[in-house]
A and B are shown apart, each in its own frame.
Chain A
């Protein structure tokens, strides 16, 4: 690809970080890079809130009697953990930070299509976050993040409505982001950036955006109905008034199963970038990977019933949902095998970002294949609502999505800040997170098969050994998650300047200075080569 000469002197070529220093300049910015940084701050704050709740849960479960919290306190802790981690960390994590920062840079655009809507989405996120914190401060919610009726509408005594409002509002933030990404990818690609040259990160965020726009409104409507039933007593889910509790579950999982793909598709996109850059090699099977993202987005809408095998849906419906759930595993499998094939005959670096990518593949394979086990109804009837499910989805969402988030952070940190961090600490962190994660969650598969139900504050003493192992792993995991704050923040002041392309990677984002100028590209870039065109032929690169 060719890029015009940069004009270092013009005001537009000042780094986006130096374009204004006041708080006001940040709060009123429409620069996609600054909004990405705002999101990075806010989701990090919520990652801590959710993490503290998780720490309380694991501490409490170290003894069978749950001596730290009351039953009510425990229920509030896991509800807070779920609500915050799902809607205030995982769903916005990679799209709203790295997607925001990178999509325009990767496709040769100056910004997203709707910069002000982009800023509005962040304000909605913050507003929703305030509702959540308010609900916590005044006493908390005890329904679980799933808000199942009639518990949430008739029986729960926590501050359910403010939590529901938080989720409704943050949903609009998601919709705005998704809409922005779809339009941007369609309309703002630079000359030569055809669909077949689109980085796979952009493909996967495009698929994610489609789910955000199509699935989130269902959740919004559903939660409004829950509010209506709880506040006004109108019978929608209450069987005494002619409603049906299972209607709630159908609509909830119609959103929430695709939401799993909202969390993990961006992680797939990150992986394709990390694996190719680490191996300095073209991706193996570009089209299989690109279309598998789209296939996941489509089939992901047709599998919600696998959450209801024991809820009372018809056995024929269960059989169909079981089949479709097996089918949706196929495109994920394609991606994993294609990444491995990409490594073949590569030139593989063991930089932190690639170690995170390796960790992701290992954890995601376990998470995905145990998902395949859960798709088998006979297994699910036994382990549904047990720790087996808890372990499975943490392998996907934490082992998968969060590990990819940290991989992305270590890969693009030099681009975002212009500074290199300590590589050795990065490697240690990647190893700690991998080990700590497995020690935390692998024992939970065994606990689940033994029959330990989830959301249990008090449990039979024979499960204690496995719970203690899990809590010990969680403390290692916590250290792994805290370390980057030290060496990444340290790098801001003391890190070496990174230069535009520290990893020797392809992609338009690596052709601009680090940190990128306020105006991304001085001249319209013109793309002439396929993506991941290693070895780099771009004369501008400083390999």
Chain B
């Protein structure tokens, strides 16, 4: 048996420290609510034990002000913590614009990562310290959940939708990365190591992985290979949406709705082209669902994201 007994998890980020501060402060309130109950049970059970001679006159059977106060006061105190906790949570939903986007594919039972520079890894994730990182995640089969306890963050990865999560790791080290949502037979071994690297280590790691083609460049090749450019290139004769500067723009749909072109939209447009039709275009695009591999979809999405207005043509 491993004799060590840990009772507090490591903190790898500022968010982790904030969550710990929150829970410790909240534990104080919880203790204030609980301790009187535990104490009074014993005090009353001893003091008013049956057969003991003690003053039992005028026992109240209601006191509305007392009941209202022990209903309302703990609730109001909890609301203060509610505001604090919800603010922490809202921060988790707003990734900084300069985040490094890393694409994650979850499948039974592994985590695959593709970095913007084209580096790939399985059941490991290397990130630079002090740099906001946004994970753009897909599942190939069931629901998984990306979880690094040292960061105090977790996000379910649901098939059919793009889930994202961001963090800024601030303490270099090696941490545990795992799957938190039950995903079948080998659920408990779906995990690996999460490396937070200093700038030098990260540069060395990038150099070591020896990839010189970025994700977007790989996507550029695929864009021609699978014939996407045949319709979507400026010179194409087919009436198809222009993809330059698409990412992050709002798109009017044929059904009158408007969506923001995020990773989810771009991926759906490749795999489920009939789901959301851009206004003014015929629904003629075929699906690439069983044509593209999961890595290729990511590379294409990365390529389309990289297309700035000027990089394609000037309107």
CB-defined contacts of B1 to chain A, threshold 8 Å:
464-465, 468
Tell me the count of chain B residues lying within 8 A, CB to CB, of chain A: 88
CB-defined contacts of B63 to chain A, threshold 8 Å:
284-285, 341
Asked whether A117 is an interface residue with its Cβ less than 8 Å from the other chain, the reply is no
Asked whether A156 is an interface residue with its Cβ less than 8 Å from the other chain, the reply is yes
A286-B61, A373-B26, A466-B5 given as contacts; is B19 within 8 A of A460 (CB)? no
Asked whether A311 is an interface residue with its Cβ less than 8 Å from the other chain, the reply is yes
Interface residue from A281, A338, A386 paired with B180 (Cβ < 8 Å) = A386
Once the chains bind, are A345 and B184 in contact (CB under 8 Å)?
no
Contact with A along B144-167 (1 / 0, CB 8 A): 010101101111101111010000
Interface residue from B44, B84, B141 paired with A343 (Cβ < 8 Å) = B44
Interface residue from A239, A344, A349, A456 paired with B59 (Cβ < 8 Å) = A344
Once the chains bind, are B184 and A155 in contact (CB under 8 Å)?
yes
Once the chains bind, are B154 and A384 in contact (CB under 8 Å)?
yes
For A64, give the chain B residue with the smallest CB separation.
B2
Asked whether A219 is an interface residue with its Cβ less than 8 Å from the other chain, the reply is no
For B35, give the chain A residue with the smallest CB separation.
A365
Once the chains bind, are A350 and B67 in contact (CB under 8 Å)?
no
Which of A173-181, A222-230, A315-323 forms part of the interface with chain B? A315-323
Once the chains bind, are B37 and A323 in contact (CB under 8 Å)?
no
Once the chains bind, are A382 and B75 in contact (CB under 8 Å)?
no
Which of A27-35, A142-150, A256-264, A487-495 forms part of the interface with chain B? A142-150
What is the minimal beta-carbon distance from A442 to any residue of chain B, in angstroms?
A: 12
CB-defined contacts of A66 to chain B, threshold 8 Å:
188
Which of A6-14, A87-95, A201-209, A446-454 forms part of the interface with chain B? A446-454
What is the minimal beta-carbon distance from B140 to any residue of chain A, in angstroms?
A: 11
Which of B88-96, B126-134, B234-242, B301-309 forms part of the interface with chain A? B88-96
B69-97 contacts to A (CB < 8 Å): 70-71, 74-75, 78-79, 81-82, 84-86, 88-90, 92-93
Once the chains bind, are B154 and A381 in contact (CB under 8 Å)?
yes
A148-B143, A346-B59 given as contacts; is B159 within 8 A of A369 (CB)? no
Interface residue from B92, B161, B188 paired with A456 (Cβ < 8 Å) = B188
Once the chains bind, are B86 and A377 in contact (CB under 8 Å)?
yes
A75-B187, A285-B67 given as contacts; is B158 within 8 A of A246 (CB)? yes
Asked whether B310 is an interface residue with its Cβ less than 8 Å from the other chain, the reply is no
Interface residue from B92, B160, B163, B183 paired with A381 (Cβ < 8 Å) = B92
Instruction: Classify chain A's interface size.
Output: 35 or more
Interface residue from B4, B44, B58, B62 paired with A465 (Cβ < 8 Å) = B4
Asked whether A130 is an interface residue with its Cβ less than 8 Å from the other chain, the reply is no
Which of B45-53, B207-215, B224-232 forms part of the interface with chain A? B45-53
B5-26 contacts to A (CB < 8 Å): 5-9, 18-19, 22-23, 26
A245-B159, A378-B85 given as contacts; is B188 within 8 A of A457 (CB)? yes
Asked whether A539 is an interface residue with its Cβ less than 8 Å from the other chain, the reply is no
For A241, give the chain B residue with the smallest CB separation.
B160
- Tell me, in angstroms, the Cα distance from A378 to B17 when the chains sit together: 12
Asked whether B296 is an interface residue with its Cβ less than 8 Å from the other chain, the reply is no
| Known A75-B185, A75-B187, A239-B158; 4 more pairs at CB < 8 Å | A151-B184, A310-B155, A340-B44, A381-B89
**Measuring CB to CB, which residues of chain A are less than 8 angstroms from any residue of chain B?**
64, 66, 71-72, 74-75, 142, 144, 146, 148, 150-151, 154-156, 239-240, 244-246, 279-288, 309-312, 315, 318-319, 322-323, 326-327, 329-331, 333-334, 336-338, 340-341, 343-350, 358, 361-362, 365-366, 369-370, 372-373, 376-379, 381-382, 384-386, 446, 449-451, 453-462, 464-466, 468
A/B interface sample: 6 pairs, CB < 8 A: A75-B184, A150-B159, A154-B141, A310-B156, A312-B163, A366-B34
